[in-house]
Amino acid sequence: MPKYMLMMNAPKNGWETFMSWPQETLRAHIAFMRSFGAKLAKAGELVSAEGLTPPSQAKIVRASQRGPSVTDGPFAETKEFLAGYWIVQVPTAERAYEIAAEASAAPGPDGPFNMPIEVREVASGPPEG
């Protein structure tokens, strides 16, 4: 059965706004995400899910002759960042889209947040032989 990665991409300049939502709204959003993850796990569709730290904590790493070269990231021109993701294992892309739409409807300050969720099938690699 195929796996799909559902990625929450948030506006880089919106992170501070998200963290300053009214406490009641922020708690409702987090409760939704926890409940949503539990629902997917109970259905046997959840492979993994994680929220990520803000872009200010991101690092860019490159190989160098002196070992890893580590700089602050993401790149300055980045307008969005990966806020979190789910990996689901479902029979069809259509089911992955349904799950992504449900995640997009998480509570926000003015009703459903409607955050765009990017859906991509996890590549299984080239055919063997």
* CATH code for the domain in which residue 76 is found: 3.30.70.1060
Residue 69: inside a domain, yes or no? yes
What is the distance between the alpha carbons of residues 100 and 8, in angstroms, rounded to a whole number?
A: 9
Are residues 4 and 113 in contact, defined by beta-carbon separation less than 8 angstroms?
no
Residue 88: inside a domain, yes or no? no
pTM, whole model, 2 decimals? 0.84
What is the distance between the alpha carbons of residues 119 and 90, in angstroms, rounded to a whole number?
A: 12
DSSP 79: -
What is the distance between the alpha carbons of residues 10 and 126, in angstroms, rounded to a whole number?
A: 32
pLDDT of residue 11: 75
Residue 120: inside a domain, yes or no? no
Residue 67: inside a domain, yes or no? yes
Residue 128 has pLDDT above 80, yes or no: no
| Dihedral angle of Cα 57, 58, 60, 66, to the nearest 10 degrees | 40
pLDDT of residue 108: 86
Residue 31: inside a domain, yes or no? yes
Q: Give the total number of structural domains in the chain.
A: 1
Residue 100: inside a domain, yes or no? yes
49-82, pLDDT tens digit by residue?
A: 998 888 778 888 999 999 999 888 766 667 778 8
What is the distance between the alpha carbons of residues 74 and 101, in angstroms, rounded to a whole number?
A: 27
6-53, pLDDT tens digit by residue?
A: 999 887 766 666 767 889 998 999 999 999 999 999 999 999 999 888
